[in-house]
Amino acid sequence: MAYQYKGLNIEKIGVIGSGQIGPDIALHFSKVFHKHGVPVVVVDISEEALAGGEKKLHKKIDRGMKSGAFSPEMGDAMKSNTTFTSDYDQLKGSSFIVEAATEDKDLKGRIFTQIRKLCPDTILASNSSHLEPELIFEPLADKSKTLVIHYFFPAERNVALEIIPGAESDPQMIDDLLGLYESIGKVPIKVGSRYGYAVDPIFEGIFQAAALCVEEGMGSTKEVDAAAARALGLTVGPFTAMNLTGGNPITFHGLDMSHDRLNKWYKSPKLLADAMETGDRWEVPARGEKVELPEDQETKLKNAMRGAYLGLVGQIIDSGITNVADLEMELELGLDLTPPFRMMNHLGLAETLKLVEAYAAAHPDFPVAACIRKQAAAGKDWQIDFVIRKDVGDVAVVTIRRPKVLNALNADVFAQLKRHFQDIADDSAIKAAVLTGFGTKAFVSGADVGFIASMDTPEAGISDSQRSQASGNFIENLKKPVIAAYNGLAFGGGNEMGMCCTARICRTGLKVAVGQPEVNLGIIPGAGGTQRLPRLIGIRKASEMLRTGRPITGAQAVEYGLMLEEVEPTKLLDRAVELARAAAAGDLGGKRVDPSPVKVPAQLEDVKLGHLSTAIDAILCRTILEGCAMPLSEGLAHESAMFGECCKTEDMQIGVKNFVEKGPRSRAEFVHK
């Protein structure tokens, strides 16, 4: 068996190194590929390391089985799918090998020289956190099938990933690997070749800034750790992170190398050198411990850490190895801290520059990024792209990319969708478009929580409903066909956006594919769902979905006529592009929404509402029956007016508050008023 993704045919995967990260990389591969019959082989020259790596992998799988994350059958299959061996010959026949040995250029070079003899056609990747691919693969004559892949701790769970091509890496292979990793649940970004890449200079720089705060007498390691976590939105502070990852040695080396390779500010602090000598763990807050500081101390630490963090981020953008949107996403996901460009926009660019300049004044070797100076001088917020366009010949592929919130919609996404589709309308080289979401979990999970919570008056509800409808209306009225490719679930506004497209397809196997769950929040759909869904699948089926909030499977969506077809996940986008071209040629039998009035019954059939609000249901029934009897444009206006009516109810306040405070799985206690 094998796993096919575009030009990649994955039949066996090798992992070299059974130390700290190798077993975790192998665990992720085995979790994904065991069901495709793709074996994972972990090789190490140390029998002790192999035994420890296998024990570590089995322990994590056992923990997953105990928590219910893995069924017993799945856990056993993952274990049996992963082989730990000192026999390098077992790597023969591997399609893809990831080396995860010690961060040593010469060692890595020797390993890859040996492997290339065993596996002449295999894609070879080094899991490095610092070294450029040109250095690692220097001994190899043909470097076209080589690259660096930087995993983040813990590798089996952290979705962030940097992919670093070398100067001679095959561009098509790199594009295929970016897609492959996305298809197996990671969030990869492509980064230019430079020492440390994009994320580690920031991660290690944050630690250095925290250590300098201690050395400069601003607080103890425990105090600085807590204050830094609060200042940067970190789940754990920089000293705690070092304890968890065992990162002292590699950070010690990385900072000193960065001093020579990046800029003179980077330098392993004495505090770290002393810790390396003693082997002691950092003193940090205990789990759940709150470390309160005097206001002036907290402010000094906050300003220092933010000045360093935002300055480091600006330096990466100045280097040109990545872009604002990719770096913003990767730092949020990989390091779990407040996204930097949103932080700068929130603080204001003038205040951001002030913080960075103050930090540089206290640390003269710290460069002030030109991009921050330029942005502050322009007085403009950073543009953070959550909607990405990539053209495939004459078809534009538009992707909503907010993986942290399952591609949820907010005002920025709506505005960026409108902008992209306006550009598509004006681009004579583009004949059609595809709309999809990033990753494998969601096309769009619905509207952002904050976006919903802001609708606190009837006027705000009407306005937000109209704004939500505007992007979809623009897509619907585009004079070029648009195919929606549901790469995962589509809830609420996501499905409402998809229904504005010429036709919809979804990936196979979606047990939860489409839903309009608004009634669980004490609201009705406001982006066209009450009007388009009945026109697409009929009043009876649509009203049941809308009134109960229950989702349907992908197969049901095809049966209902909402979807054109189901497609294998790895072929979804290719099929969507093919259908878009067919639609442009007039050869697609897709089902557009008919804007004509619909013949409606005197009343809707009874459904079991359970805990749901009868007050909201009454508004919803009116919206469906009255709106569908009108032309679509009038029905949409009616939906917005009725959304405003929801904002007058107690149940909307109860439902939204419950959702914000307790999450989507908690049932609101409606009072039916």
Active-site residue set: 496, 518
Distance, CA of 294 to CA of 32 (rounded, Å) = 49
Q: How far is CA 420 from CA 106, 145, 238, 400, 638, in A?
A: 47, 34, 39, 11, 28
DSSP 511: S
What tokens does 407 get? 């591609």
- Among 571, 422, 575, 545, residue whose Cα is nearest residue 484: 575
Strand partners for 84 = 42
CA angle 103, 108, 109 (to 5 degrees): 140
Where do we find the tokens 């040593």? 104
Q: Which contiguous run of DSSP H or E holds residue 28?
A: helix 22-33
Omega of the bond leading into 525 within 30 degrees of 0 (cis): no
Return d(Cα 152, Cα 150) in angstroms, integer.
Answer: 7
297: left (phi over 0), alpha (psi -120 to 50) or beta: alpha
Q: Phi and psi for 512 in degrees, rounded to 5?
A: -125, 105
The residue written with tokens 């937000």 in the block is 464
Distance, CA of 495 to CA of 633 (rounded, Å):
18
Under a CB-based contact definition with an 8 Å cutoff, are residues 528 and 639 in contact?
yes
Does the N-terminal peptide bond of residue 269 adopt cis geometry, omega within 30 degrees of 0?
no
Distance CA 201, CA 197 (A): 7
CB-CB neighbours of 105 under 10 Å: 15
